[in-house]
């Protein structure tokens, strides 16, 4: 196996939540690995900025405005892909939301917003992606963006933890169901990465100091740290890997 097994040349990847943070970093990293991109998110302006960066790398970038918690929006995204004659072979299920709140203060609206985006939206995006591949008789791969909370509990983040634990279970179940169709389903599990979504934690210096003391590598992650794992799991080098989660957390989940 040569280095070409780690290349994504000739691939078309659909990345949700691609306008910022982890989704943006993975999209740009996949472009560096040779992939063309379909970028999906709720903000057209932010998507245009990312598309411009990818095009300057010499890769094609299409944009689709979509809200994954809205099934009609997902249907429009799938129709938009079909209308443009695009059949992505890679899906990065990254779109997600979070709001820290004591569990006794969680209401139905917050629970539904987080679960509908992080879990329900991810499932129906994957379902539509797999349907089109199976209809075309094509293989593909799905990369779900799970979390440290897929494997450990985080106080005041119970809806988010529930959604990401469910996403890990979904990864395993879909991998078993779709393997014979040639569709691999894996996940990455980011640890603590400072993004707009998680900024609320880092505003507390005492929290930051305490958390750094628990991370064996002694630092928080940079979003670029997720690119290598993502490219690997979506490329030929991982052709016999499915149903797995690769934790990218500086050793946090492996320590006590």
Round to whole Å and give the CA distance between 242 and 98: 27
Q: Which of 160, 192, 202, 252 is the catalytic position?
A: 160
252 is catalytic: no
Round to whole Å and give the CA distance between 215 and 108: 33
Q: What angle do CA 149, 38, 179 make, to 5 degrees?
A: 60
Strand partners, 189: 247
Round to whole Å and give the CA distance between 210 and 207: 5
Give Cβ neighbours of residue 76 (< 8 Å, ≥ 6 apart).
66
Strand partners, 188: 145, 246
Q: Are 93 and 126 in contact (CB under 8 A)?
A: yes
Q: Residue 212: name the closest of 174, 249, 254 by CA.
A: 249
Beta strands 61-65; 36-41: pairing state:
parallel
- Residues involved in catalysis: 160
């Amino acid at each position: 196996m040569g280095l070409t097994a780690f290349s994504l040349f000739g691939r078309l990847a659909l990345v949700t939540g691609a306008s910022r943070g982890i989704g943006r970093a993975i999209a740009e990293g996949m472009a560096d690995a040779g992939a063309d991109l379909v970028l999906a998110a709720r903000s057209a302006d932010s998507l245009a900025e990312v598309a411009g960066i990818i095009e300057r790398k010499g890769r094609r970038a299409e944009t689709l405005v979509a809200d994954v918690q809205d099934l009609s929006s997902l249907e429009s995204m799938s129709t938009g892909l079909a209308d443009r004659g695009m059949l992505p072979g890679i899906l990065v299920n990254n779109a997600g939301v979070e709001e820290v709140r004591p569990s006794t203060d969680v209401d139905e609206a917050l629970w539904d917003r987080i679960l509908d985006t992080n879990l329900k939206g991810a499932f129906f995006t994957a379902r539509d992606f797999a349907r089109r591949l199976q209809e075309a008789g094509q293989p593909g791969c799905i990369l779900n963006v799970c979390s440290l909370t897929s494997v450990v509990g985080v106080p005041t983040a119970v809806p988010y933890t529930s959604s990401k634990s469910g996403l890990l279970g979904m990864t395993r179940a879909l991998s078993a169901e779709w393997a014979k169709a040639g569709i691999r389903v894996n996940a990455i599990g980011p640890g603590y990465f400072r993004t707009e979504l998680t900024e609320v934690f880092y505003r507390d210096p005492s929290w930051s100091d305490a958390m750094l003391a628990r991370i064996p590598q002694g630092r928080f992650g940079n979003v670029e740290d997720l690119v290598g794992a993502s490219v690997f799991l979506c490329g030929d080098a991982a052709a016999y890997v499915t149903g797995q989660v690769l934790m990218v957390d500086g050793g946090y989940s492996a320590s006590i």
